[in-house]
Amino acid sequence: MFQRGAPRIRAFSEAVGMVSWIKCRPLLACDDGGVKLRVLGRSRALSTARRFLLALTMCVSICTAGRAQSVLTYHASADRSGNYVMPGLTFERASKLHRDFFFDGRIAGSVYAQPLFWRSKRTGRPLVIVATESNNVYALDASTGKPLWKRHLGQPVGLSKLPCGNIDPIGITGTPVIDESRAALYLDAMIDTGSGLHAQHMLFGLSLEDGSTLPGFPIDVAQVLGAQGMSFAPRVQNQRGALVTAEGTLFVPYGGHFGDCGAYHGWVVGVQLDPPHSVKAWSTRGIGGGIWAPGGIAYDGRALIVATGNTEDVRDFADGEAVILLNPDLKTSDDPRTFFAPADWQGLDSADADLGGANPLTFNIRDAAGEARFVLALGKDGKAYLLNRDNLGGVGGALKVVPVSRSAIRTSPSVYPAYSGVFVAFRGAGIACPVSNQRPNLTVLRIQAHPSPTLSTAWCGAFDGRGSPAVTTTDGRSNPVVWIVGAEGDNRLHGFRGDTGEPLFTGGGADEAMGNVRRFSTILAAFGKLFVAADDRVYAFKL
């Protein structure tokens, strides 16, 4: 029998020694700041083999937290896949998720942007980075939720000072982006300059180590574009979409405010990250055509891809209701291989049925017949448009157009592997759901490439809210769990088995509800936890 005292202590000491021998990260790498070993029941003194197994188990636990990958951009990657790898988050363990009540997470301001995750190379500290509409940026300790630094970037703009909109005040809306090589955070903040009704969009570069402003920043967007002869009207432009970095350049998308007021355009502004921070830009030819979706710009390693909304008072196609491929130099052409618009784009304009309500999603399907490169666009008209990424097809050139939702699709989708194809999850009231339910607000499509592209509804899930779905897998494809937040609904976190739609987690107990979560909110999966940002607080859920 396992005796009290020395044998037990010696067994534990030897196990810890083995942890050291296999060169695990220090205990401080664990997400709770340390490790506790609990020996349950009575047994014989641990054999050497069992002690080694115990040590190895401890090592896996310690090193998994220590190796937690940074999340540098919206939905985990520049292609906006929304697929987070969480090695321990199996189907069974997902059902046992619970809120981490020891995580503080208090901040100031409403949050529409997704939090990001980064580990300091200088201190080793794991940070959750969150930006608010009050123009506050926080670096929270990922273990405790306590702020390690905070920056206030300027007075946000009150809704009364804008011609229209539905965010009050408006400060940082789009999800920032991290450049890990520079240990830098980049974002757009709308700032009240105090001069009458004047408001400006300012681009900031911040050091992730301490929040200090990097040399050459902030950049006044209207001012630098005006110096190049381009007219950017900051009061009617809104920055809702996620930023991205590619080829040493920061790219920032813009649309308008809720209500479509003023002569706004869809813009992509590119800022060279190396001094002197030269600026270039592309904008829609027609008034309107905003880049609205929270996922903003997708980047597939070759090109930037955006989806635009409705244009106004145009007779000929002027870049609205479109999926547009932009080279990193932001130069475009009328080549139909580089853009797509539905054949009825004018009707969509008239109905305000934006194609740009959801960001385009890029993915490849590799099967026995070869590899195909796709873009999927989802519209407020409830349709899915499957496109060939190597030839978008111009007006009416989709590979497949399928009605998939009875409601407008406005949030960001996610993609994850399926047998001989992929699954795509989006927030919308699904059509042709295999099993009927009362609130099919989460829809998952199955897409296959060969012998010809097919698109069908795989399953539908019921929840109350307006979040954007994201997926966790244990290795990129196994144990897929689709997570979605009941934003502006039940304000709870929901998890569904990704292959069947079986509910795994429905938000926890009465004490695990969150405060007001803003529309389009999505999870951050990192450091062995799921993080959700709400008004004035970031919540953490753990196994």
Work out the mean pLDDT of the chain and round it to a whole number.
89
What pLDDT is recorded for position 7? 40
When mean pLDDT is compared across 46-55, 132-141, 228-237, 258-267, the lowest value belongs to 46-55
Over residues 51-55, the mean pLDDT reads: 46
Confidence of residue 197 (pLDDT cuts 50, 70, 90): low
Residues 145-172 have pLDDT tens digits of 999 999 999 999 999 999 999 999 999 9
The answer to whether 106 and 128 are in contact (CB under 8 A) is: no
Sign of the dihedral defined by the CA atoms of residues 117, 119, 120, 124, in that order: positive
- Model pLDDT, residue 26: 32
Mean pLDDT for 67-95 is 94
CA atoms within 13 A on the CB side of 68: 30
pLDDT band at 437 (very low <50, low <70, confident <90, very high): low
Task: Tell me what percent of the residues of the chain surpass a pLDDT of 70.
Answer: 87
What is the arithmetic mean of pLDDT over 391-406?
97
Q: What mean pLDDT is predicted for residues 33-62?
A: 41
pLDDT at 37 over 70: no
DSSP code for 119: E
Residue 50: which pLDDT band, with cuts at 50, 70 and 90? Answer: low
Q: Is the dihedral of CA 464, 470, 472, 476 positive or negative?
A: positive
Print the SS3 string covering 433-465: CCCCCCCCCEEEEEEECCCCCEEEEEEEECCCC
Q: CA end-to-end span of the chain, whole Å? A: 32
Spell 229-268 as b/e; 16+ CB within 10 A means b.
ebebebbbbbbbbbbbbbeebbbbbbbbbeebebebbbbb
What pLDDT, on the 0 to 100 scale, is given for residue 207?
A: 98
Structural contact between residues 523 and 294, judged by C-beta atoms closer than 8 angstroms: no
Average pLDDT over residues 469-489: 97
pTM: 0.88
Summarize pLDDT for 108-147 with one digit per residue, the tens: 999 999 999 999 989 999 999 999 999 999 999 999 999 9
- Predicted local confidence at residue 38, as pLDDT: 35
pLDDT, mean of residues 457-479: 96
Residues 488, 507: contact at Cβ < 8 Å?
no
Tell which residue, 411, 362, 399, has the closest CA to residue 521.
Answer: 411
> Closest Cα partner for 426 from 488, 359, 474, 475?
359
pLDDT at 39 over 60: no
Across the range 391-414, mean pLDDT stands at 96
CA atoms of 265 and 352, how far apart (whole Å): 15
Q: Which of 69-83, 193-207, 229-243, 299-313 has the weakest average pLDDT?
A: 193-207
